[in-house]
Amino acid sequence: MRAQEYLESGIAAHRQARHSEAEAHYRRAVDINPTQPEALNNLGVLLDDTGRSDEAEDCYQQAILLRPDYLDALKNLAASLSDSQQWDKAEQTLKKALAVDPANVAIHLHLARVLGCMGRIADAEACLRHALILQPDNVQTCLELGRTLEAACKPAEAETQYRKSISVAPHQAETHVALAKLLVERKSLQDAESEYRHALRLQPDDAETLSSLGMLLQGTERVTEAEACFRAALRSRAEHIPALGNLADLLNNDARYAEAEACYRRILEIDPRCIEALNNLGRLLEDAHRFDEAETYYRQVLTIEPERVPTVLNLSLLLLKRGRLKEAWPLYESRYADSPYWGDESAMHAKPPFPFKEWQGEPLAGRSLLVRSEQGFGDSLHFARYLPQLKRLGVAKLTLVCPAALVSLLETVEGVDVCISETDVNNVPAHDFWCFTMSLPLRFGTTLDTIPASVPYLRAPAERQSRWAGRFSEDSLKIGLVWAGDPRPSLASAHLTDRRRSLNAQAYLPLLRIPGITFVSLQLGNSTRPQIKDLPPELRPLDVMDEVNDFADTAALIEQLDLVITVDTSVAHLAGALARPVWILSRFDGCWRWLLDRDDAPWYPSARLFRQTRPGDWTGVIDRVTQALSTLTAKKN
């Protein structure tokens, strides 16, 4: 047989996936005629198909040496180099191909993808725009240009290209999905949902699109619809890891721990080293009170990826909850470590750009120190207890930066020389050092036995005390109520925590029916305070919050009360810091500072905890609070 006949026999066998036979024919053709580039090119394709890319590249190179303008070999070599991420070589090869065929749009598209992978976004954009000049209505070019413009942070131009692609080829689901994802980023959620649903009409069983739509629905709290999407994705592709992960997260958020655990473990069967699944399974086990297992998974994640900072933070919070404070505080500093894993919340984990040194425990005698409060109002109130200790270290000037609503209250704390609203933080004068309030337990070596729990460490300013004095009758118990926290839809984790810790005002009806008590609402919030109106008029607590301007007013108001009953919000910390009796209603996956399996709080001697015994079960909590309050009322009478 001649070389050409072996080549043709090889092509026939290759088409029928008879790879060994095809390879033998191609090699025989090359042996007979070493100068035949077609046989070398086809042998290269077969070697690529069977996972031998290094050998394939050699074949393509030999074919190109024999015929430098051999376009198929140039394109195949570029594809092989791209697959092995040899971007520089792929770029050079594609440019040689364009020298042979400058009007070939497919080669321009390939070159643009390679340039994008190299981070040369502007060059990729220029390449695609040139391709559009060659074929103005090329659908794939419009799509790729849209993606490149997204990468270049040009969302409006990207949207234009996606819509142009759709106008030319409205039945291409891929473009509808790309547009939907862009619209999600641009917060046009209704339009994004429409595009996802259009794509699903074209490809009803596409698992990726179903999972993406589910994420959108979950983000808008349409949880039942989101779950249906994730389950539909898994019916289409049972091992689709994104859908499994999204479904597991949804079930975990809903405290359906057994179902969520099964999903995470299924992911780990598919990919035993899936870091997201290992980390999230650790969080689930912590929420489900399986603390030893949770710690094991967190540490396993950090064995695989020691630089995964959010997992370090998760581990620190678990250790704090278990009372292992000395071990936890150094790890808790990870909350401000640089990490790509913070995702959309990265801004929350950035240190302020003060032009002076962060305090790491250096001597403070005669020095000036700026202390920056952090996180929520409750955290600022909780850790204000450390400010007097700083002054005792000899600080000459102690400045506190905190939220404006706390300034009037915290400026009265012992040792604070200056209290500045965080709105003025850019005008802070120079200091020798600065530090975060929640880093102070580390600097002071706080353990369970050394928690600075001397209360009160907060007091309402005298003029506020005078304003609120005698406001309520002395003939009955005066009890303040808070039933909900502050919803934060823009922060997914904080919003979930708020949903778990909050009740509706009507949950307090069993308390409100106890006679002989003057109930006073301490509730704020545009969506939660109006719930008072849903209560029977004769049972509504007094609502004086229109007269409250800041936390100094709330402190003076609480000082007039006999007891505060609250979910886990800043009011719990305020009452505890004022040394007023406070009953705290804690969710099942409660905050670390309340520790475990106890009804007292080492941080606040006047606090009593009423914990959920099952996730989401407030009924049992309210029953116990009602019984305790009835007993208290009987003693008072």
Domain of 467, CATH number, reads: 3.40.50.2000
Phi and psi for 317 in degrees, rounded to 5?
-65, -35
Mean pLDDT over residues 386-392, rounded? 95
- Identity of the amino acid at 564: V
Mean pLDDT over residues 414-431, rounded? 91
Q: Is residue 11 part of a domain?
A: no
User: Do 560 and 532 share a structural domain?
Assistant: yes
User: Do 554 and 475 share a structural domain?
Assistant: yes
User: Do 506 and 470 share a structural domain?
Assistant: yes
Predicted confidence band at 8 (pLDDT cuts at 50, 70, 90)? confident
pLDDT at 498 > cutoff 70: yes
Among 450, 471, 490, identify where a domain stops.
450
pLDDT by residue (tens digit) across 183-231?
999 999 999 999 999 999 999 999 999 999 999 999 898 999 999 999 9
**Assigned token pair, 216:** 């959108």
User: Do 477 and 390 share a structural domain?
Assistant: no
Q: Is residue 191 part of a domain?
A: no
E strand spans, 255-342: none
User: Do 395 and 500 share a structural domain?
Assistant: no
Q: Is residue 286 part of a domain?
A: no
Among 421, 450, 479, identify where a domain stops.
450
Q: Is residue 63 part of a domain?
A: no
Predicted confidence band at 495 (pLDDT cuts at 50, 70, 90)? low
Number of domains in the chain: 2
The gap from C-alpha 414 to its chain's centroid, in whole angstroms, comes to: 37
What lies within 8 Å, CB to CB, of 144 at 6+ separation is 109, 112, 113, 128
Given the structure tokens 């505890």, which residue do they identify? 576
User: Do 466 and 443 share a structural domain?
Assistant: no
Q: What is the pLDDT of residue 11?
A: 86
pLDDT at 386 > cutoff 60: yes
Predicted confidence band at 51 (pLDDT cuts at 50, 70, 90)? confident
Domain enclosing residue 428, as ranges = 361-450
User: Do 593 and 550 share a structural domain?
Assistant: yes
Q: Give the pTM.
A: 0.84
- Do the Cβ atoms of 340 and 404 come closer than 8 Å? no
User: Do 618 and 469 share a structural domain?
Assistant: yes
Among 450, 473, 492, identify where a domain stops.
450
User: Do 505 and 427 share a structural domain?
Assistant: no
Q: Is residue 531 part of a domain?
A: yes
User: Do 625 and 535 share a structural domain?
Assistant: yes
pLDDT by residue (tens digit) across 342-377?
887 888 888 988 999 999 999 999 999 999 999 999
pLDDT by residue (tens digit) across 134-150?
998 888 998 999 999 99
Q: Is residue 477 part of a domain?
A: yes
CA 408/CA 405 separation, integer angstroms = 7
CA angle 562, 566, 567 (to 5 degrees): 165
pLDDT at 154 > cutoff 60: yes
The secondary structure of 191-237 as a DSSP string is: HHHHHHHHHHHHSTT-HHHHHHHHHHHHHTT-HHHHHHHHHHHHHH-
- Do the Cβ atoms of 198 and 229 come closer than 8 Å? no
pLDDT at 311 > cutoff 60: yes
CA atoms within 13 A on the CB side of 267: 24
Share above pLDDT 90 across residues of the chain, in percent, rounded to a whole number: 76
Mean pLDDT over residues 59-70, rounded? 90
User: Do 435 and 470 share a structural domain?
Assistant: no
User: Do 577 and 619 share a structural domain?
Assistant: yes
- What CATH number corresponds to the domain at position 410? 3.40.50.720
Q: For all residues of the chain together, what is the average pLDDT?
A: 92
Q: Is residue 370 part of a domain?
A: yes
| Helix 189-202 with 207-219: angle, nearest 10 deg | 160
Q: Is residue 471 part of a domain?
A: yes
